[in-house]
Amino acid sequence: MNYTLIGMPASGKSTIGVILAKKLGFEFIDSDIVIQRKTGKKLSTLIDELGVDGFIDLEDDINSKIDATDCVISTGGSAVYGENAMSHFKKLGEIIYLRTNFEALSERITDMDKRGVVHKAQQTLKDVYKERSILYKKYATMIVDLNNKTIDESIDLIYNEIMRGNNNG
């Protein structure tokens, strides 16, 4: 069983993913790092070279080939644009949407370009949030609301949901 974390940039996917993997006794995979290793380039360089659509296609291709067993996988915020990858992640196990409200995200992301948020020209953070929220809900097999929670509270909440799910199956 694998657990793939999806959500907006700055929602805590990587931070929570590392600690959750340790708590479960699983490996941790950061899909952004997988992309960088496969291409030998930083994500920002890839986006500059390929453009947003080209990057999303590359991300979809690489993510759809991630091989994992007993792993927590943290995805880039734009991974939900890749239908092949999301279908692949669903076959690998649970997809957990780390839902965070827009207000909290807007405090954490003051500059989308510096933060590396994949977005089309003229899109605001609010536009990206609205567009992706629909996709996160579409693909999630579990939604965890992280509003007003510390990292430790968030990890405990996710862990307990996973354990509850494992006891029901």
Kindly give the confidence (pLDDT) of every residue in the chain, 169 residues in length, as a single tens digit, with 9 standing for 90 and above.
999 999 999 999 999 999 999 999 999 999 999 999 999 999 989 999 999 999 999 999 999 999 999 999 999 999 999 999 999 999 999 999 999 999 998 888 877 777 667 888 788 999 999 999 999 999 999 999 999 999 999 999 999 999 987 654 4
Domain 2-161: homologous superfamily in CATH? P-loop containing nucleotide triphosphate hydrolases (3.40.50.300)
Sign of CA dihedral 112, 117, 122, 125: negative
Strand-strand pairing, 2-6 and 93-99: parallel
Domain extents for the chain?
Answer: 2-161
Please report, for residues 29, 63, 64, 124, the alpha-carbon distance to residue 87 in angstroms, rounded to integers and kept in the order given.
17, 10, 8, 28
- C-alpha span between 159 and 156 (Å, rounded): 5
**What SS3 state is found at 3?**
strand
